[in-house]
Structure formats: C-alpha cells, structure tokens
Amino acid sequence: MLLLGLVATMPIGAILGSLFSNPSSLGFVFVPMMGLIAISGIFYPITAFPLWLQWIGQVFPIYWMGLGMRSAFLPDSLASVEIDDSWRHLETAGVHYQTVGYLERGEYSPNLHLALKIAEYFEVPVEVIFSTTPFPRIGSGERSA
C-alpha cells in the first residue's frame, strides 16, 4: 500500500516542486494540499460532505491511500461511514465498481489478468476466489441442532 501511494503521489510532488525555484515558496503548496487532505476523509468522514465534494476528494490519491489504511487498521464495522458502506477493496486496486457488481452476480468471467490482480490484492491463490464450478451460497447449508 505504501509503495502504491508513493507511486501515485510522487509525480504530483515533482510537478509542484518544479513550479517554484525558491524553496521558501513551497509554502504556497501547503494550503491546497491541506485542503485536499481535509476533503479526502482523513480527518472527517467523506460521506458527511456534499456529493460534489466527495467526487473531488476521490479524484486524488490521498483519498485512496487513506481508504486503504483505514480498511487495514480499523474494524469492519467502521466501513459504514465510507461511501457505499464498503472499504471498496477492488476499486482501490483499480477494478471498476461495475465490474465488481458483475463478478458478484456471476454475470462476468474475469480475464486472467484481472483474476490474478484480485487474487494478488487479497494475497490468496486465484482458485480460492474463482472456480469453474459455482461456489455454494453462504448460509444455504443445513444447520445442525
């Protein structure tokens, strides 16, 4: 997660750093960056902001880094304050939300690259997540008394 965050934010820092020749001028970058951090859900739940502000916050990698860190360190019950009441793991890994829906409903078979990417993200073998035979539905088994 840290490496992904560095790769996502280093180009922004390089561009902003090249705009100023005097290091003392970099203080002007601090104010917009604090604004981005403020709307990214780091200090306050992003779902409390207006929808248009939530969209702006999600454009920048700060939101996705914070989401990944929150999902790693906070209990699952706190996902209720996130967008869609979810940690959005696959979207964090770069999988579109519509693809996730199709996968969950069994309406889409992923290509090999996507299947390996999802398995790598969850650190499990690909056959734990995908199979040629349908998995049994959770809770469909008989309960023993």
- Mean pLDDT (the chain) is 75
Give tens-digit pLDDT for 79-97: 777 877 777 766 666 666 6
Residue 141 pLDDT greater than 60, yes or no: no
Give tens-digit pLDDT for 19-65: 777 777 777 777 888 888 888 888 888 888 899 998 888 888 888 78
Are the beta carbons of 81 and 47 closer than 8 angstroms? yes
| pLDDT confidence of residue 25 | 75
Other Cβ atoms closer than 10 A to 27? 9
Q: Among the residues of 39-110, which ranges form H helices?
A: 51-59, 61-73, 89-92, 97-105
- What's this model's pTM, rounded to 2 decimal places? 0.54
